[in-house]
Amino acid sequence: MADGDYFHQLAHRDVAIRRQALQALSDQSDPALLKLLIGQPQLFEAELQELLVNIFVRNRSRWAAEIAGELLYATRESMRQLGITILHRLGDVSLKPLNRLQHSANPRVRLGVLQALAGIHSSVRAEWIRPFLADEDIRVVQEAVNLIRQYGDETTVLLLKDPFVHYPELRDSILWAFARYFHPEQLLHYFKAYFVHSEKLLHTFLLILNGYSPGVVNPILEQLVTAILDNENISLLNTIAKHLNTHVDWTLPADLQADLSNHQAALPRETRLSLLAASPTRAFVEFASQWNADTEPLTQCTALYAQRFPELALQYATELPPDLKPIIKKYAAQSLVTQNSPSWETTFAKNADPEILIHILNASASLSEKNNRNAVYRMLRQFPPAVIATFLNQLSSRESKEELLNNYLKHVDDVPAVLTELSSRVNGLGYLLTTYFADLFTHHDWARIALLNHLKVDQAFFIFTRLFAGETFREVPIFQTIWNYLSPAVRPAFLLAIINHSQTADIMQLFNELSVDISAETLILTSEFLDLLTLQPTSVQYIFLTLIYYDLENFKRDQ
């Protein structure tokens, strides 16, 4: 095909025909044809680009690289990017042409050279990137900085010190580049003079600190605050305060507060509150007690103060306004438990406050370490049943209630007395004790079934209904064993539960085989039980009364 024919097809409106012409050219390496190709903007559509790249790369000649280099002068960005791709794919063949293009007066060309070199080398080397860092066009310098951020090392990052000084608009990006290779202490050494004069750079540095432990961050915060105070650029403390509000483990030493107090008149109240909440001093409590502004910052900072310094917060909690005390208790409790503080048991023993223990239990429920949770439950012994009843009624989760109750019963000495008191104080106690008594039955701990005698009749009935009315408990030996441990006042509830879950014939057979006396004389029908009986179906009432009285006339006469 003659050149004119190629030209005609390459200029055709139909993409398929242009593709066919490109494929026909793919095996040729005539520089004139390559020149022809870059003069056809319609070939630079996305679906033809790979074919075009392949033609140049297959050529593998210096001419191909030089012709591709001309694309760097193009005004269309797609053509420039294609030139960069071709030069990159040609590899070392492109280095000489790129070396010449690097000195072009056109900054867009120099930028393209830089991008192509990065692709060829697949890394950043000091010897070829240094000239671009000194380029007179900031776009070129910016790209060089970006490449060092992505592909550099400690040596090439150090080349960014001069651009950092000369290009204020690039300092943020350069700081992130340094952060990839240098510890925050080194960054502070290099750039502290800039941090204490630039809110943007200080903010960036604090973002960089996000990835480090408090052991690294907190000494740096102290140095930053001290330097800011020394330079009297007090407004930058607002930036420090904002970051303190989002990091519960960031703190300031107590001895800084004296220096900060000298500048308190120049600080917004919210900033001062945040700085005080980050220090283990009483000053926060004093300031918070006088707060009469928006409550949201106060609530947030009170929670942070309690989490950071839980023991101190509990010590000073009584000095806070009533609406802040619950916040202190909640977050201090959570903090001591989740931090596994060695002193938390002692701390809470000194603050035997039902509300605090609620928060301990809520916090410990989310812990995976059983040792922590067991320590919480051991501590329950110091609280009387009335307090535990308050806890149970306040907790919203049934699982939390059950776990609290079961563990409390495991650790107290006088379980009968505890159950007697809880029975009149805890809502839904029978429901909560189901698991506890199920464990006793699973282990055939029949003697402890007598604990049911210390519950109210309706509570015992609920437990019987849930657990004791199955086939197993209608077996004569088991029935008689349980019956003998139950008090006359609780036996009717046991009997009623079995009737509720049995056929009449089975009931009659069971009672015919029993060697125990089941009659009105061996039972106490309390008013609570009679109320319970009236709620049962008529057929159940009839069977129950028939069993214990043998005929209803006796029952009517006794009533």
In this structure, is residue 551 part of a structural domain? yes
- In the predicted model, what is the mean pLDDT of residues 376-393? 78
Q: How far apart are CA 263 and CA 276, in angstroms?
A: 13
pLDDT tens string 285-316 = 999 988 876 688 999 999 999 999 988 998 88
In this structure, is residue 519 part of a structural domain? yes
Q: Between 412 and 337, whose confidence is greater?
A: 412
Four-CA torsion 185, 187, 188, 191, nearest 10 degrees: 170
Least Cα distance to 493 among 460, 530, 535, 454 occurs for: 460
Residue 557 has pLDDT above 60, yes or no: no
Residue 4 has pLDDT above 80, yes or no: no
Q: Over pLDDT 70: what percentage of the chain?
A: 87
Q: How far apart are CA 295 and CA 32, in angstroms?
A: 77
In this structure, is residue 345 part of a structural domain? no
In this structure, is residue 539 part of a structural domain? yes
Q: Domain residues for 493? A: 433-559
- In the predicted model, what is the mean pLDDT of residues 447-451? 86
Mean pLDDT, all residues of the chain: 84
pLDDT tens string 503-521 = 777 777 777 777 777 777 7
73 contact partners, CB below 8 Å, separation of at least 6 = 106, 108, 109
pLDDT tens string 8-18 = 777 777 888 87
Contact in structure between 348 and 379 (CB atoms under 8 Å): yes
pTM of structure? 0.66
In this structure, is residue 106 part of a structural domain? no
Q: What local confidence, expressed as pLDDT, does residue 343 receive?
A: 60
Q: What is the pLDDT confidence band of residue 64, given thresholds at 50, 70 and 90?
A: confident
pLDDT tens string 469-504 = 555 556 777 778 888 899 999 999 988 988 887 777
Which of 59-68, 170-179, 341-350, 375-384 ranks highest by mean pLDDT?
170-179
Return the SS3 of 429.
helix
- In the predicted model, what is the mean pLDDT of residues 178-197? 93
Residue 491 backbone phi and psi in degrees, to 5: -55, -40
Question: Which ranges constitute the DSSP H helices of 470-537?
Answer: 476-485, 491-500, 504-513, 527-534
In this structure, is residue 532 part of a structural domain? yes
Least Cα distance to 459 among 498, 403, 419, 409 occurs for: 419
Question: Which ranges constitute the DSSP H helices of 367-475?
Answer: 370-379, 385-394, 398-411, 415-423, 429-442, 457-463
In this structure, is residue 139 part of a structural domain? no
Residue 129 backbone phi and psi in degrees, to 5: -90, -20
Q: What local confidence, expressed as pLDDT, does residue 252 receive?
A: 95
Neighbour-count burial of 197, counting CB atoms closer than 10 A to its CB (0-12 exposed, 13-18 middle, 19+ buried): middle
Q: How far apart are CA 429 and CA 98, in angstroms?
A: 84
- In the predicted model, what is the mean pLDDT of residues 352-372? 63
Which of 31-35, 89-93, 251-255 ranks highest by mean pLDDT?
251-255
Residue 358 backbone phi and psi in degrees, to 5: -55, -45
pLDDT tens string 243-257 = 999 999 999 999 888
- In the predicted model, what is the mean pLDDT of residues 184-204? 94
Q: Between 144 and 38, whose confidence is greater?
A: 144
Q: How far apart are CA 438 and CA 219, in angstroms?
A: 55
Output the six-digit token pair for 521.
Answer: 């004389």
Question: Which ranges constitute the DSSP H helices of 2-158?
Answer: 3-10, 15-25, 31-38, 46-59, 62-70, 77-90, 95-101, 107-121, 126-133, 138-151, 154-158
Q: What local confidence, expressed as pLDDT, does residue 552 receive?
A: 44
Least Cα distance to 229 among 269, 268, 257, 201 occurs for: 257
In this structure, is residue 360 part of a structural domain? no
Counting the structural domains of the chain, the total is 1
